[in-house]
Copies of this chain bind each other. A is one copy, B any other.
Amino acid sequence: MKKLIIASTSTVYGGTYLDYLLPELEKHFSSCKEILFIPYARPGGISHDGYTENVRLAFAKINKSVKGLHEFESQSFGTEAAIRNAEGIFTGGGNTFVLVNELYRNGVMEVLADVLNQGTPYLGTSAGSNITGLTMQTTNDMPIVYPPSFKTLGLLPFNLNPHYLDADAQSKHMGETRETRIKEFHEYNRTPVLGLREGSWLEVNGEEIVLKGNLSARLFRQDEMPTELETGSDLSWIK
């Protein structure tokens, strides 16, 4: 049975890394002593070791140890086995193209989907949340590497837009708003898209999907007007 926390962001304004989620994570990962961290998205170009160290410091606050998936790349044990054996898994944010490319390069996209469908507790933030949807095609990130496919884990029957940002009516910038970009996505794709604002997350238990945090989320469907979904609502009907 799936057991996922899918968060828009790791860090809310004025907060520290993961702090707003720690009470949730303590419950979510209650069965785990050690978390396997997937550092591949490398925010700001940070090294895998450096990123893993940041995550280690955050999880130490709830008494979890952390191993980075990259540590298994050179071992006979291997990344696939590391994922199969993990008690709990966290994929952090950064660049979604880099993350997806590395998951394919290491041949672990399928096994990751497999263990998460079977119930390994999972946390995703930002890019790590993006990959839980059907495709990564509603990411905000730059295509700085060319992945073999945009297909992702498909743990949700829709796509996500993390860090969802409402249009700023005061702005003089003429670039596309987030809403316009998602509308363009729907010219070519039927997949619903959930715009998840910073501070919001999805709690997934089996087929149940509930919106958490203080804010509403914005749902975009092909040929329909976007709608606001209130926090606490059941989203398992979206497909």
Contacts and interface: CB of A to CB of B under 8 A. Distances in A.
Contact of A187 (B12, B45, B172, B180): B45
- For this chain, the copies found in one complex come to 2
A179 B31 CA distance: 40
A42 interface: yes
- Ordered nearest first, which 8 A-B pairs have the shortest CB separation? A45-B187, A163-B175, A13-B172, A144-B185, A142-B181, A9-B174, A137-B143, A146-B150
Nearest to A150: B146
Interface in A131-159: 136-146, 149-150
A44 interface: yes
17 contacts: A13-B173, A13-B174, A43-B180, A43-B184, A44-B184, A45-B184, A94-B184, A137-B143, A137-B146, A140-B176, A141-B176, A143-B150, A144-B181, A144-B187, A146-B149, A163-B174, A165-B175
A120 interface: no
A188 B145 contact: yes
A37 B203 CA distance: 48
Given A43-B176, A44-B180, A139 B146 contact: no
A83 interface: no
A95 interface: yes
A151 to B, nearest CB: 9
A99 B180 CA distance: 16
Nearest to A199: B174
